[in-house]
Structure 1
Amino acid sequence: MLNPIWLNTFVTLINTGHFTKTAEKLFMTQPGVSQQVSKLEQACGFTLIKRDKKSFDLTEQGRLVYDYATTLKKNEQTLLEALAFDNPHAGNCTIACSGSMALLLYPALLDLQMSHPSLIIKLTAAPNHQILNDIQKSNIELGIVTDVPNMREFDINKLANEELCLVLPKNIAPTGTLAETLINQGLVDHPDAKHYLSMYFEQCQEPSLKKLVPTDIPVVSYINQLSQILSPVAKGLGFTVLPKNALENFAQKELLTVIKPPTPVIETLYTVKKKNRTLPERYKALINVIHKLTGD
């Protein structure tokens, strides 16, 4: 790589047309200017200027080097200008969250993108462990999770609380205790079901559920599309546990029964990003939408 200091001296010399003026402009001595030009010629392997007493002319090789150096300087300036401008309404925004949160966020994020067409929002529905893994690998910039990750690897902020709902078919006939009813009914499984069930059993204070674990319950169906999880329950098949906002977005709520526990089951949501990562300006609008929708 050609020495950028020599190139700058050479370009200044050509622009001023004089060794003394170049030396003054660059706060150098005239012999210093001559020495740097000579070093540049040695590095290129060609004579760049033909000296004639106090004047000089560019050789063809010198003209090529001059054009290269000036283009290099313009490109550098363009780069610096681009680095200095962080467009708040343009560029990619990558975010991952649970399926239920994606249902809540996506319409509003589409509206944001419609307002700013140069903003490209990429939303992924995924479980907690995948979200954290993708953030660590820089596949996504921002995640919404329910488990507090390792604070040495991530920056986290509390976002909001959401209620978990135990959902059964409408007018279901109880078969003994609630735990027995759930076992007889069977679980409509989904990617977050085991996590939600464990939290529900632990927090709800329903006596029959205290000793129940998710593996005690047979699975009658599995679906990884959140919008379809409540469909089998509405048809009388199985039960499931989902965040309240997923239930509110279901069109046939009249076909469902939500069990009211002695103590509401609340899950805390957190925004998470890579440790010490400063997000671009365009994420501010996206984060504002998230806070508005979650009621924080």
Structure 2
Amino acid sequence: MQHSSLNPLWLSTFRSVVETRNFTETAKQLFMTQPGVSQHIRKLEQACDCQLLDRRDRSLELTHQGEAVYRYALQLQQQEQQLLSSLQADDPYRGDIVCACSGSQALTLYPQLLTIQQQHPQLNIHLEVAPNHSILNGILDASIDFGIVTHFNSDHRYQADALAAEELCLLLPANNEKQPLNLTTLQQLGLIDHPDAYHYLSLYFSGCGEADLQSISPDSLPKRGYINQLSQILLPVSQMMGFTVLPRSAVDAFPEKNKLQIYQAKRTVNQPRHIISKKQRQLPARSVHLMQQVKDWFSDC
């Protein structure tokens, strides 16, 4: 048998009847007539397809099914009160925030977020480390409040603010210092590939100011390996197994920097960074406040 939906108004009347144990008193409290109260209870019992109240000897007792419906009615009341309270209290230091960035950005961002959470224990900050396209998709479907991306096409669906750019470094084994850097050298070394390697290489080659490198297509370079764990990308470079390109923050975090050489190009190459959110989505005060703090942190980097 198909059951009807449970009207919240019937449930509210039922809850009052259970608590007063009296139809007349419920009618007074709810500014209803007694027949109106009886009608609500009758319709609720019809929707549940069972008896909820035992009306013997001028007393009201809950049936087993009535007890279950009463508990459900209480849960709905509590959820409504919690919702209304949350709508009224938009506290910048309380609640959940979901933000996202790349692994290299997390090296800078995560320690700052931990400091904020220590200062405000009722904030729950979830940092998702993800590639650019995942961050962009998450912002559109509202599973992410805001994110930091290093490359995206301008799109009217996003609100984007520029952050300070970060230096990109071409990393070679330390023993490569005396060799000229050109296509032949890089082909001999081979690329240690990672999720952003080709994007970083394209930026680096086009912006370094050196004709020999500007003429190189990243696709022409042989791979010597691939890894998507940021902390491990520089390990094969330090072991003289290849070269790669990473942001300065990733290099600074690597414990064996003495086994690396950062190539000094004619021009420093920087990758842009943007903090983005969904345009026309009204974020809670806690997310807006944290976004501003992130802007301040990255403007000082």
TM-score between the two structures when normalised by the length of structure 1: 0.73
Query: Which residue is 1:80 aligned to?
Result: 80
Q: CA RMSD in A?
A: 4.0
Percent of aligned pairs sharing the same letter:
43
One-letter amino acid of the counterpart of residue 247, structure 2: P
The answer to whether the 8 Å contact 1:41/1:47 transfers is yes
Note closer, same or farther for the CA distance 1:26–1:227 as it changes in structure 2 (3 Å cut).
closer
Query: Which residue is 1:58 aligned to?
Result: 59
The answer to whether the 8 Å contact 1:155/1:272 transfers is yes
The answer to whether the 8 Å contact 1:108/1:289 transfers is no
Deviation at residue 243 of structure 1 after TM alignment: 0.9
Note closer, same or farther for the CA distance 1:73–1:293 as it changes in structure 2 (3 Å cut).
same
The answer to whether the 8 Å contact 1:8/1:69 transfers is no
Deviation at residue 196 of structure 1 after TM alignment: 0.2
- Number of aligned pairs? 289
The answer to whether the 8 Å contact 2:22/2:60 transfers is no
Structure 2 residues without counterparts, runs of 5 or longer: none
Deviation at residue 181 of structure 1 after TM alignment: 3.5
Note closer, same or farther for the CA distance 1:49–1:209 as it changes in structure 2 (3 Å cut).
same
Deviation at residue 127 of structure 1 after TM alignment: 2.6
Separation in structure 2 between the aligned mates of residue 103 and residue 41 of structure 1, nearest angstrom: 59
Note closer, same or farther for the CA distance 1:134–1:59 as it changes in structure 2 (3 Å cut).
same
Separation in structure 2 between the aligned mates of residue 242 and residue 160 of structure 1, nearest angstrom: 16
The answer to whether the 8 Å contact 1:109/1:289 transfers is no
TM-score between the two structures when normalised by the length of structure 2: 0.72
Give the match's secondary structure for 2:179: coil
Separation in structure 1 between the aligned mates of residue 161 and residue 265 of structure 2, nearest angstrom: 28
Give the match's secondary structure for 1:231: helix
Separation in structure 2 between the aligned mates of residue 293 and residue 18 of structure 1, nearest angstrom: 62
After superposition, residues 88-167 of structure 1 pair within 5 angstroms as 93-114=97-118, 122-133=126-137, 141-148=145-152, 151=155, 154-167=158-171
Separation in structure 2 between the aligned mates of residue 13 and residue 233 of structure 1, nearest angstrom: 75
Note closer, same or farther for the CA distance 1:181–1:50 as it changes in structure 2 (3 Å cut).
closer
Structure whose alpha-carbon radius of gyration is higher: 1
Note closer, same or farther for the CA distance 1:247–1:62 as it changes in structure 2 (3 Å cut).
closer
Deviation at residue 133 of structure 1 after TM alignment: 4.4
Deviation at residue 214 of structure 1 after TM alignment: 0.3
Deviation at residue 247 of structure 1 after TM alignment: 2.0
Q: 1:91-132 CA distances to partner (integer Å, 9 max, x unpaired)?
A: 665444222222233334444455566666554443323443
Aligned partner of 1:200 among 199, 204, 208: 204
Which has the larger displacement, 199-208 or 164-173? 164-173
Deviation at residue 194 of structure 1 after TM alignment: 0.7
